[in-house]
Amino acid sequence: MEDDVTVLELDNIEKSFGSLTAVDGVSLSVKEGELVCLLGPCCGKSTTLRTIAGFESPDTGAVLINGQDVTGMSPDERRCSMVFQDWALFPNKTVLENVAFGLKMDGVSTDRRHEQAREKLALVEMSAHAADMPGQLSGGQKQRVALARSLTLDPELLLLDEPLSNLDRKLRESMQLELKEIQRQTEKTMVYVTHDQDEAFTLADRISILNHGRVIQTGAPAEVYTDPINRFVESFLGTTNFLECTVVATTVREMPAGEATDGGSRVQLDSPLGEPLYAPDGSNQLSTGDSVTASIRPEQLTVSTNDGSHGDQRDRAVLATGTVQRRLHRGSQIRYEIAVGDAEVATERRISDRLDVEEGSTVSVSCSPSAVTYFDAVGSRLRWVQPTSGYERNWDGSQRRDRCWSFRWCCSIYWYLSCRSAICFGLGWLNALRWAHTRKERGR
């Protein structure tokens, strides 16, 4: 993948249908050979894709493909191709004719277009069905044909609008892997619309999460999952345990073991777990009584059955005793719902790692400090903010004096050397002028 080559650039795209704003200021860049997934609830994903393809005209903004502004161009003038959700195969044409149809419209000779169509059918493992009619194919086979038809046109950009949504789960998962392999072999740049999170995480190099027609966050799959920008992203991706807390102290100097961080302000929270939590407040915006939401992913919780004793409390942000309320079997996973204080948290284990507990059993629940994510009352992420003044800070937020004085000494030395250089330079010029004046006087 060439990181420095941008194939698609969306610049502040907006699209409304009457009073409904479907796309609201979407900006996005897609690099060459990259597969980017547009993921979100009903939020304008398909409208964005249709705008890229030219089937919709944006009210404002621009669409650029390989640096060329194609906003006013028709779909056939753009070097992109689209795979639709319903496949859109011609029922009266064979598989080979369907795949070669685009080349036929471009005026390519019969022999040449059939040769290219067969190459793409081989790529999607459908060569044996070249003479079949679409009605003779399964859903997965129809999807392969639709993909081969789009690839035959050799587009600079391939757009896919939930192409696997009509398939059953097992076939859909198989097709995801096949599609990823085809993308790897062809090195095609793709924009893929889906509402299926598992599909996005399987396929994407980057995921762009949309909500209400706006891009909320774009990043690698692991990044958007582990480092969400706000509460919406945290709640939309996977499952989590939200704990509604209240700020009870805004200046925290004595921290329990395991809570030390890299610096910045922190506040103490009263949590429904019955144990205090410590949230970051890098911008010093929180006050006593403010609401803060703590989020802990189920996979981050550690549950033990050591008769309720807490044991070693180091490296633990949440450490409390709870009671197993429900134990639910979900295929290869077992979900445990545990009442802890006034809250209920959930965690999951593989069957091979299942806990030897029954409903009503007492367990200890804990997790690492870094596993807890915090959001303010409006859903914005609370982070540890490093000081920007150039000074390091101690664990309690105070400036480290050694670095402070070192910084001052460096500034003083730099100022002294700069002034000395300027003075020497000036004296040199004065001497040169004096010498020139002396020679001029002697010449007279």
Handedness of CA 272, 273, 277, 279 (dihedral sign): negative
Query: Are 327 and 359 contacting, i.e. CB atoms less than 8 angstroms apart?
Result: yes
Q: Is the pTM of this model over 0.95?
A: no
Length of the chain, please?
444
Domain 6-235 sits in CATH 3.40.50.300? yes
In terms of Cα–Cα distance, which of 56, 7, 5 is closest to 156? 7
CATH placement of domain 239-382: 2.40.50.100
Token pair for 32: 């060459």
| Domain positions in the chain | 6-235, 239-382
Token pair for 296: 């802990």
Distance CA 192, CA 162 (A): 7
Q: Which helix (H) or strand (E) holds 243?
A: strand 241-249
Using the structure block, give the residue that is written with the tokens 């919780």. Answer: 301
Distance CA 126, CA 96 (A): 10
What's the longest Cα–Cα distance across the chain?
A: 114
Query: What SS3 state is found at 122?
Result: helix
Query: Are 331 and 275 contacting, i.e. CB atoms less than 8 angstroms apart?
Result: no
Spell out the per-residue pLDDT of the chain, length 444, in tens: 445 799 999 999 999 999 999 999 999 999 999 999 999 988 799 999 999 999 999 999 999 999 999 999 999 899 999 998 888 899 999 999 999 999 998 899 999 999 999 999 999 999 999 999 999 999 889 989 999 999 999 999 999 999 888 888 888 888 899 999 999 999 999 999 999 999 999 999 999 999 999 999 999 999 999 999 999 999 999 999 999 999 999 876 544 444 444 556 789 999 999 888 999 887 778 899 999 999 999 999 989 886 544 444 445 566 789 999 999 988 888 999 999 999 999 999 888 888 888 899 999 998 888 889 999 999 999 987 644 433 333 323 333 344 444 444 455 555 555 666 666 656 666 666 666 666 555 555
What is the predicted pLDDT for the residue at 389?
39
